[in-house]
Structures are given as structure tokens and as C-alpha cells.
Amino acid sequence: MEEMKGQIRSLKVYGDDFWEFYNKQTKKIQDRIFWTIRVIRDIQFVSEKYLKHIDDGIYEIRVSSGNNIFRIFCFFDEGQLIIVLNGFQKKTQKTPTEEIDKAKKLKAAYYESKKK
């Protein structure tokens, strides 16, 4: 994800999980994902409509397009740096526990790799 002047936060993708999810989406959904990420990156106070804390420092980036709802997990590292982890299409009201667990494992792996 590119750096731009005037942005409040920067985003970095950790691992391949996000890109595997992203590359399976239609161009329209991909554009919507990047639009939402730009909102989070560039606006000082982000509404829970776009970014919501879930559990244990894990946040979800909330993307919707028509009747389709997508969630992308992330967390903050070093202040205004957001680490993007994994995404999925939401089909039920409740966020699947296995998706949250996957995000927690990726977060732990990120911090492990930072130690090296």
C-alpha cells in the first residue's frame, strides 16, 4: 500500500492472507476495499462503520458493497501504523471465531518476526 502526503495513518500488509482474499474479489469489491482503506488512512476520526475494535487489539475494517459484507482484520503497531492481516466475506451476523483466531495467530507471528 502506497505512502501518500497528508495521510494520518500508514498501512502495511503482513503475510499473504490478505492478498489471497483480495485477489479472489471482483474489481468492484477490490475498489471498495481500497476506498475504505483510504478512509481509514486519511481521516482523523474514523467511524465504527469503517473500523471497529473486536478483541485483544484486533480491529476489523468493515467493507460493504450492495448486500455483500466483508471484514479485514488488522491491528495497530507503533502508533499510526496499521498492520493488515486477513479478510473474509461475512455471511452471518456473528463474526466467525475461527477468523478472529486466525487474525490473533497472524498478529503473534508478526511480532515474532519483528524480534528477528
Closest CA to 20 of 93, 106, 110: 106
Q: Where are the domains of the chain?
A: 10-115
Give per-residue pLDDT as tens, 69-111. Answer: 999 999 999 888 999 999 999 988 888 899 999 999 999 999 9
The amino acid sitting at 15 is G
Pick the CATH number of 10-115 from 3.40.50.300, 3.40.50.12780, 1.10.1740.10, 3.30.2310.20: 3.30.2310.20
Find out whether 103 and 64 touch, Cβ atoms under 8 Å: no
> How are strands ordered across the β-sheet holding 51-55?
10-13, 81-90, 68-77, 58-65, 51-55
pTM of this structure:
0.89
